[in-house]
Amino acid sequence: MKKIPDKEILLFKSCLVNLEYPGVESSTRYLFDKLDIEYIVSNRQSCCTGLGHYTDLFDQFSTTAIAARNFAVAREEGHKNIATLCSTCYAILKKSCNILNKNEEVRNKINNIFETSGLGNMEYIEDEMKSKDNIFHVAEILYSKSTEIENIFKIDLSHFKVASHHACHYCKAHHKDTIGNARDPMILETLANACGLDTVDWYDRKTNTCGNGFRQRYLNKDLSLSVTNEKLLSLKENDVDILLHMCPNCQMQFDRNQKYIGRSQATEFNIMHLNISQLVALALGADPYRVVGVQTHTVSLDPILKELKKKSID
Amino acid sequence: MKTLKLGENTFKLAWSIIKDLKASEYIGVLKCIQCGMCTSVCPAARHTDLDPRVISKRVLDNDENLISDDLIWNCFYCYSCHSVCPVNNSVCEINQILRQKAIKKGNGIPEIAPFSNYAENFLEFGLGSIPINFFDELVQDIGEDWLQLKVDLEDIRAELGLAPLTLPEEDVQDINKILEKTGFKNRLGKIKRVKG
């Protein structure tokens, strides 16, 4: 398995975490603090261009130049191990890093742009970042601390049946760097098990995309939600209570659209959606409102909140 | 007997894809054996006429009509095909490259113009966001609570101990200089002209 760092980490902010599920970032910070992971967050970091890139609005060269700037920020801040909260940031940064290392012409062009913009200090040197050694998803960092998590979790949530949605841009886009089997990833299950929860390790649509498809949710809504519905039906068949996420775009696709899909199918889905950081933070005793950010969710998390209340009375 | 005639331009489209910046190193475009693994896992193939195996075949047939074929816009960019291909081909990347060719040609611009507000916000703040023009429909589908979340966001972020969402002005200016020189601002100008 690849070597996963626990220091000199730049926690890479994500647009959809910022705007939709900020509790994913605060939960991650809570966990990093508890697990003695040394990290910073930088307000100089820009977004990765992700939603713009995958709606075809951004060209690859511009996305790569923005990545090179963010790599320079990480370097200047002395924290060049990047941990992303979003799977699309992960995929985009890895792709850009590979281009910068392997394509001399592009690297020179981007360095020339830096130079002529008074940003010569941002020059990207070949191989100064390695896609496999410096760019990670937060879930991987947590996964490397599974044993520690197992030793310190406080709250028994084993009442709930859990399944995973390992985001496509984590497990498929750079599948050779995915931890475990990219076609049946188990990172999220391993972390849930470490917190004492039982997991549905396989279900019919486990490897399906969430259905967002970037442009598809906005311009081809019926197509997009048909794919989401397939997965929801498969989860319902398996009586899943909580679906674990590692990407805010996927989480949004399920959490925000689930009621709408249920209405249009004349069925009801009662699946709760949590990012893996949110679940582990809850199991370690984090406050649901002041750390986990349950107040920004659309599907009610009341069953979890009731269970937490019961546990605190016990 | 029918013989295959190989000329200089036989695989012109395939080579232009292989050499594109978006294509992964060692992409196996020319090695496609038409096994159909890609189609078996493709969400778009289950619900539309897009068939990744056929896209790959048409690339090998040098069928440049693909660039103006609406089918390429059905791809979800989920990389399922990419992750199962036995010869390291990636119809997901092929579709991304074909769409860029369509944008360059002009016919693809109306497909991306609805997202131009994303770029405007990126240039203004250095941050990504959902284009504002989709908000009304999203509020209808998701509910009023989602709109209220937008109103309350800064308070919620403060409650969670998170800083306001701003980059220093100097960094936003740097990002603008960079995107001016990569040609992105010029590209956005063309896109917005079509939209208007």
**What number does CATH give the domain B12-107?**
1.10.1060.10
Would you say residue B7 has pLDDT above 80?
no
Mean predicted lDDT score pLDDT of chain B: 95
Domain boundaries, chain A: 9-137, 153-313
Distances B45 to A242, B37, B72 between C-alpha atoms, Å: 28, 12, 11
Distance from C-alpha of A143 to C-alpha of B68, rounded to nearest angstrom: 44
Digit-coded pLDDT (tens) for A265-309: 889 999 999 999 999 999 999 999 999 999 999 999 999 999 999
Residues 7-66 on A with a CB inside 8 Å of B are 15-16, 18-20, 22-23, 25-26, 29, 41, 43-52, 54-62, 64-66
- Predicted pLDDT of residue B155: 97
- Mean pLDDT across the stretch B19-34? 97
Distance from CA of B34 to the nearest CA of A (A): 20
pLDDT digits (tens, 9 = 90+) for B118-146: 999 999 999 999 999 999 999 999 999 99
Q: Does domain A153-313 have CATH number 3.40.50.2020?
A: no
Distance CA A167, CA A250 (A): 7
CA distance A214 to chain B (A): 7
Query: Which tokens go with A303?
Result: 């069953």
Q: What is the mean pLDDT of residues B148-170?
A: 96
Q: How many CA atoms lie within 13 A of A42 on its CB side?
A: 26
- Condensed to tens digits (0 to 9), the pLDDT of residues A24-52 reads 999 999 999 999 999 999 999 999 999 99
At A188-200, the pLDDT tens digits run 999 999 999 999 9
Identify the pLDDT of residue A224: 98
So what's the pLDDT on residue A1?
A: 75
Q: Count contacts between A and B (CB, < 8 Å).
A: 208
Question: Which CATH architecture is the domain A9-137 placed in?
Answer: Up-down Bundle (1.20)
pLDDT-derived band of residue B195, with 50, 70 and 90 as boundaries?
low
Tokens of A227: 């794919």
The pLDDT, as a whole number, for residue A53 is 98
**Residue B196: pLDDT band by 50, 70, 90 thresholds?**
very low
* CA-wise closest residue to B80 among B114, B40, B109: B40
CB contact under 8 A, B22 and A226: no
A22, A44, A60: residue with CB nearest B168: A44
Interface of B with A in 83-142 (CB under 8 A): 83-84, 96, 99-100, 103, 108, 111-112, 114-116, 118-119, 122, 126-131, 134, 138, 141-142
**Are A65 and B122 inside 8 Å of each other by CB?**
no
Would you tell me how many other CB atoms lie within 10 Å of the CB of residue B146?
Answer: 18
Select from B46, B67, B122, B146 the residue whose CB has the most chain A CBs within 10 Å, as the one to mutate to test that interface.
B122
ipTM of the complex: 0.97
Q: Where are the domains positioned within chain B?
A: 12-107, 111-195
